[in-house]
Amino acid sequence: MKTFCGRANPTTGALDWVEESEEYDYHQEIARSCYADMLHDKDRNEKYYQGIRAAVSRVKARGERVVVLDIGTGTGLLSMMAVTAGADYCYAIEVFKPMATAATCIVERNGFSDKIKVINKHSTEVTVGPDGDMQERANILVTELFDTELIGEGALPSYEHAHMHLVQADCEAVPHRATVYAQLVESDMLWKWSQLQPIEVDGNKLLPPPAVVKCAGAPSVCDIQLSQVPPESFTPLGPICTMFRVDFSKQVSSAAQSYTAQFKAQTSGRAQVVLSWWDIDMDPDGSIVCTMTPSWNYSDPHTYPWRDHWMQSVYFLPAEKNVSEGEELNLIGSHDDYSLWYGLTQNLKMATFRPCCTCQAHLVWTRPRFGELNDEQRTESYVNALRSILKPDSVCLSVSDGSLLPIFAHLLGSKKVRSFISCSQVLHTNSLKHGVQLLGIRPEQLSLADLEGNQISVLMGEPYFSTSLLPWHSLFFWYCRTAVAQLLHPSATILPRAATLYIVAVEFRDLWRIRAPCGTCEGFDVSPMDEMIQRSLDYRESLEAEPHPLWEYPCHALTKPRPVLTFDFTQCVPEQPVNSDGTVRGRCHGVALWMEYQLTEDITVSMGLTKPVSEEGACEWNPHRKQGVFFFRSARETSGDGREDLSYNLTFEPHTGDIKMDFSITEP
């Protein structure tokens, strides 16, 4: 059955009513899942297999029949490992119905149907007894319920319930325990993602609102590939601390708890950020360890196992604190049933509370957006561009979410500045609330009366919109420009004056794994999962690019960056589609796409590559915006000989704001 769904269009700003299948959300979930990434994580798979074999051997040595409970089975991989290791029976629980169906198919294909029962329920709904889902309690508990924060997927409540209702008191657990680590650091790079900092504009210092400075920030974790954060960009103020451990073989509590690590500051500095990760011991002796530690903490970084389903966490302290070398410090790590947070005190009796945003800015701006607003080079580009076009009598209108551009325009001398959305707190803090008029309407509702009878002489935008995911979603600026076209002065200046979509064919070092078929994993045929994912991709997603912060995912450019579509903001959105096609040379995993904005004739800012591609193909990406990635249908582990032609056809559809893209690789 199909139904009409209302969806906000991030490019046009309109509410689109589209006909969708009732399975659409399932297809999206499957297509954008990390199942393939997990199965390509050889280190994870091998450690689980070793731990399961050891647990089965320990139970058999006690003369017991081995009954395994696998919570969150996914493909059924861990259950098949358990049966292969000698388990007598396995109950595999999977709450996501499409995945449970795939697991049943995989179990059948591998010949384990008589030993593995797939149960499509949440583990807390599973019953035990003669007429229940499980005939008896299990004596081995196998799970993979972890996320980057360890407990964010509800691991603690699931374990708590399982020990109370589904497993025996002396059960073996794989993994056996988890350990959470943390390190206190000073990092200007990371701290810029937490707080709005003072900004110099034409001799004026724009100060951040006290409410923002004092705010503890949003409680959500910032999960990133910490291995891509250069060690020279932060200074450790203390050692790597063991914050707490969870023993999964015993009764687990999901109640809120706090733990303290005491240490002396290794050096003087500003305590700003806590870096955190975890590892899991697959056996009681701790001889089989799967660790999430960053690559720069490895003795040999080249042996670092890349994974994207588990990364590392960055936590921002509620406020930075100056610490002195040798000072006694107490790092407090706290958690509830789903999340972690950190605090720093000199007094153990002081309580640390779960951070909560009170200034609203941390709820409106993402962490990368804070970093973008604090980017001095970017600010300089916009200020120089505005300085070159503004006059004292300019009538300015700003179209961007939470932008500081209208404040910049006022500080540069413009007396009439209006903005649809701006940071009123910044205006108030800097006594500029009369310098910028905030409009509480949409662009299409704007009238000449709202402008006091004056036509717009400068229309400006970054462009940045909180609803944008893909680079071309920022073309919403173009639709806003078109909506106010009748209010523009004939000689009005548009900033940016144009945008260009660029592409480059790339070979990823690791990111290709999230789209590569698995085939077999540790000797088991998991191709039904490949087929399920491909069906969901074929539903629609395989024809679309997806957003990724490429600074976290090293890649090698196999072609020169090429401009493929240019959007002229000095003109209205055209009625007819804009098309571009061509051919470049190079076999690759996919194509990276990004926007560059031409602010003035000689000032351009890039949302993608921040430097020219090196002779060796090395890429340096903008860390504040996500780029688009179009993955080819069958990602390759190697790039081949590069003699193939990459053909492309891209079409901008004005009525929908979409960019339809078609890429193909052919031999010349």
Q: pLDDT tens for residues 252-280?
A: 999 999 999 999 999 999 999 999 999 99
Fold type of domain 498-515+539-666:
Hnrnp arginine n-methyltransferase1 (2.70.160)
Q: Which residues contact 384 (CB under 8 A, 6 or more apart)?
A: 603
pLDDT interval class at 486 (50, 70, 90): very high
Q: pLDDT tens for residues 643-668?
A: 567 888 999 999 999 999 988 877 65
For every residue of 377-422, DSSP letters joined together read HHHHHHHHHHHHH--TT-EEEE-STTBSHHHHHHHTT-SEEEESSB
Lowest mean pLDDT of 214-218, 289-293, 527-531, name the range.
Answer: 214-218
Q: Tokens 């299409």 appear where?
A: 444
- Distance (Å, whole) CA 189 – CA 182: 18
- Distance (Å, whole) CA 197 – CA 210: 11
Q: What is the dihedral of CA 111, 537, 646, 584, to 10 degrees?
A: -140
- Distance (Å, whole) CA 353 – CA 350: 10
Residue 187: both structure tokens together: 């990092």
Q: pLDDT tens for residues 369-419?
A: 999 999 999 999 999 999 999 999 999 999 999 899 999 999 999 989 999
- For residue 530, the Cα-to-chain-centroid distance in whole angstroms is 23
What would you measure as the largest C-alpha separation in the chain, in angstroms? 90
What does the pLDDT read at residue 639?
44
pLDDT interval class at 633 (50, 70, 90): low
CA-to-CA dists, residue 346 to 266, 329, 575, 658, angstroms = 15, 5, 64, 54
Q: Does 606 have pLDDT greater than 80?
A: yes
What does the pLDDT read at residue 663?
86
Q: Which residues contact 667 (CB under 8 A, 6 or more apart)?
A: 643, 644, 645
Q: pLDDT tens for residues 175-185?
A: 999 999 999 99
For every residue of 561-606, DSSP letters joined together read -EEEEEEETTSPPPSS-EEEEEEEE---SEEEEEEEEE-SSS-EEE
Fold type of domain 34-144:
Rossmann fold (3.40.50)
Residue 97: both structure tokens together: 């119905």
What does the pLDDT read at residue 637?
40
Q: Once rounded to an integer, what is the mean pLDDT over residues 283-307?
A: 93
Q: Which residues contact 279 (CB under 8 A, 6 or more apart)?
A: 178, 179, 181, 289, 290, 291, 292, 293
Comparing 179-356 with 498-515+539-666, is the CATH topology the same?
Answer: yes
Residue 410: both structure tokens together: 């006022």
What does the pLDDT read at residue 75?
95
Nearest to 365 by CA among 418, 401, 313, 319: 401
Q: Which residues contact 329 (CB under 8 A, 6 or more apart)?
A: 184, 237, 238, 262, 263, 264, 265, 271, 323, 344, 346
Q: How many helices (H) and strands (E) does the chain have?
A: 15, 36
User: If DSSP codes are grouped into helix, strand and coil, which group holds residue 268?
Assistant: coil
Q: Does 330 have pLDDT greater than 50?
A: yes
Q: pLDDT tens for residues 126-148?
A: 999 999 999 999 999 999 999 99
| Domain edges within the chain | 2-32, 34-144, 179-356, 375-495, 498-515+539-666
What does the pLDDT read at residue 350?
55
User: If DSSP codes are grouped into helix, strand and coil, which group holds residue 214?
Assistant: helix
The DSSP call for residue 79 is H
Residue type, 457: S
- Between 318 and 32, the higher pLDDT residue: 318
Side-by-side strand order, sheet with 578-585: 578-585, 645-653, 658-666
Residue type, 637: E
What does the pLDDT read at residue 30?
74
Q: What percentage of the chain reaches a pLDDT higher than 70? A: 92
What does the pLDDT read at residue 535?
81
What does the pLDDT read at residue 418?
94
Q: Tokens 């050889």 appear where?
A: 42
User: Is the CB of residue 337 less than 8 Å from the CB of residue 151?
Assistant: yes
Average pLDDT value over all residues in the chain? 91
User: Is the CB of residue 404 less than 8 Å from the CB of residue 374?
Assistant: no
Fold type of domain 375-495:
Rossmann fold (3.40.50)
Catalytic residues: 144, 153
- Distance (Å, whole) CA 367 – CA 189: 12
User: Which residue stretches of 11-130 are H helix?
Assistant: 24-31, 35-39, 42-61, 77-84, 97-109
- Between 424 and 540, the higher pLDDT residue: 424
Would the pTM count as exceeding 0.85? yes
- Counting other chains too, the contacts that 375-378 makes at CB distance below 8 Å and 24 or more residues apart are 375/192, 375/624, 378/605, 378/624
Q: Tokens 């053909």 appear where?
A: 647
Nearest to 639 by CA among 543, 535, 506: 506
Give burial (CB, 10 Å; 0-12/13-18/19+) of 202: exposed
Check the CA dihedral 228-232-233-236 and report its sign. positive
Q: Does 4 have pLDDT greater than 50?
A: no
Q: Does 25 have pLDDT greater than 80?
A: no
What does the pLDDT read at residue 216?
85
Q: pLDDT tens for residues 554-605?
A: 999 998 999 999 999 999 999 999 999 988 766 688 999 999 999 999 999 9
Fold type of domain 179-356:
Hnrnp arginine n-methyltransferase1 (2.70.160)
Angle at alpha carbon of residue 145, lines to 144 and 150, rounded to 5°: 110
520-521/578-585 β-pairing: unpaired
Q: Does 638 have pLDDT greater than 50?
A: no
Q: pLDDT tens for residues 431-457?
A: 988 889 999 899 999 999 999 999 999
- Distance (Å, whole) CA 409 – CA 387: 8
Residue 86: both structure tokens together: 């000698």
Q: pLDDT tens for residues 513-554?
A: 888 889 999 999 999 998 888 887 776 655 689 999 999 999
User: If DSSP codes are grouped into helix, strand and coil, which group holds residue 538?
Assistant: helix
Q: pLDDT tens for residues 610-625?
A: 999 999 999 999 999 9
pLDDT interval class at 188 (50, 70, 90): very high
What does the pLDDT read at residue 644?
64
Q: pLDDT tens for residues 337-383?
A: 999 999 998 766 555 678 889 988 888 899 999 999 999 999 999 99
Nearest to 174 by CA among 83, 80, 56: 56
What does the pLDDT read at residue 570?
97
What does the pLDDT read at residue 6?
54
Q: What are phi and psi of 462, to 5 degrees?
A: -75, -40
What does the pLDDT read at residue 542?
57
